[in-house]
């Protein structure tokens, strides 16, 4: 049974760095073709892809946010961590982690999402 | 940056057919995927690789592709199909992923 769960602070102040952790089970990030990705969704707005890390530790970032994002993994803990620097109120959103299968090219399992509010 | 264009809303009566289009320059080269999202829930994959349906997704959901446009078709729409639908694909390099703005399907 594949599950993913996001964790981190629900509230951050402007200019601070956000660190989110995705803890997963039911699959291995060391398996060829398996990736974990982050997607966010501001309230009432569309989904936005942020970053992806694959089984080979290759990392891919949204062009518009790449200077602020870092994605990393700890396969021994079944965790993927996303950091986003210089947070702004426009970054207020629900942040999802999801499993991505490169062979299929899709996000097949999603976490429940975590709401992060940026406010002083 | 690469964009996918969807209509913001589609309205349909129960039992009728809803069609949602998604346009993007790289779609002839990259597959498209469709996700259904209901309020307060995570997205659910309903179509992959333009026209394939995951197990557990009703047969009334289908996908097609023609040139730079892909289409999600919901035949015999039911009230439970009321949701936001997002198309998703990759840019021409295949290393950056993008979602459309989402289409709200309203069942009248």
Residue B32: closest CA among A104, A99, A42: A104
Tokens (6 digits) for A118:
């940026």
pLDDT at B94 over 90: no
- A87–chain B nearest CA distance, Å: 21
What is the distance between the alpha carbons of residues B23 and B4, in angstroms, rounded to a whole number? 5
Q: Is B55 within 8 Å of chain A by CB?
A: no
- Of A6, A16, A2, A19, which Cα lies nearest the Cα of A88? A16
> What are the pLDDT digits (tens) for A33-77?
999 999 999 999 999 999 999 999 999 999 999 999 999 999 889
Residue B95, pLDDT score: 87
- Tell me the per-residue pLDDT of B12-34, one tens digit each, with 9 for 90 and over: 999 999 999 999 999 999 999 99
- A34 vs A20: CA distance, rounded Å: 20
Q: Residue A56 corresponds to which tokens in the numbers above?
A: 């080979």
Tracing tokens 């870092």 back to the chain, one arrives at A70
User: What is residue A51's predicted lDDT score, i.e. its pLDDT?
Assistant: 98
Cβ–Cβ gap B43/A46 under 8 Å = no
pLDDT band at A113 (very low <50, low <70, confident <90, very high): very high
Residue A112 tokens, joined: 């429940």
Three-state secondary structure call for residue B80 = helix
% residues pLDDT > 70 (chain B): 100
Contact A10, A115 (CB under 8 A): yes
**Residue A46 and residue B97: Cβ atoms within 8 Å?**
no
Q: What is the DSSP string of A39-77?
A: EEE-TTS--EEEEEEETT--EEE-TTTTTTEEEEEEGGG
**Inter-chain contact B1–A64, Cβ cutoff 8 Å?**
yes
pLDDT band at B53 (very low <50, low <70, confident <90, very high): very high
Burial class (CB within 10 angstroms; exposed 0-12, middle 13-18, buried 19+) of B85: buried
- Probe site for chain B from A49, A95, A107, A113 (most B CB atoms < 10 A): A107
CA distance, residue B47 to nearest chain A CA (Å): 9
């Amino acid at each position: 049974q594949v599950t993913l769960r996001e964790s981190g602070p629900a509230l951050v102040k402007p200019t601070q760095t956000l660190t989110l952790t995705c803890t997963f089970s039911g699959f291995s990030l060391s398996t060829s073709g398996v990736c974990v990705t982050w997607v966010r969704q501001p309230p009432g707005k569309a989904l936005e892809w942020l970053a992806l890390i694959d089984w080979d530790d290759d990392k891919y970032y949204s062009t518009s946010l790449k200077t602020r994002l870092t994605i990393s993994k700890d396969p021994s803990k079944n965790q993927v961590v996303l950091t986003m620097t210089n947070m702004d109120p426009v970054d207020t959103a629900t942040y999802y982690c999801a499993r991505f299968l490169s062979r299929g090219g899709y996000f097949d399992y999603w976490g429940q999402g975590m709401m992060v509010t940026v406010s002083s | 940056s690469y964009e996918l264009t969807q209509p913001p809303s589609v309205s349909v009566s129960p039992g009728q057919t809803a069609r949602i289009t998604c346009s993007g320059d790289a779609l002839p080269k990259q597959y498209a995927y469709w996700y259904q999202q209901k309020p307060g829930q995570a997205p659910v994959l309903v179509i992959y690789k333009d026209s394939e349906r995951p197990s557990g997704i009703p047969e009334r959901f289908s996908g097609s592709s023609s040139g730079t446009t892909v289409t999600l078709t919901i035949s015999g729409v039911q009230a439970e199909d009321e949701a936001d639908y997002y198309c998703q694909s990759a840019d021409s390099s295949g290393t950056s992923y993008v979602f459309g703005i989402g289409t709200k399907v309203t069942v009248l």
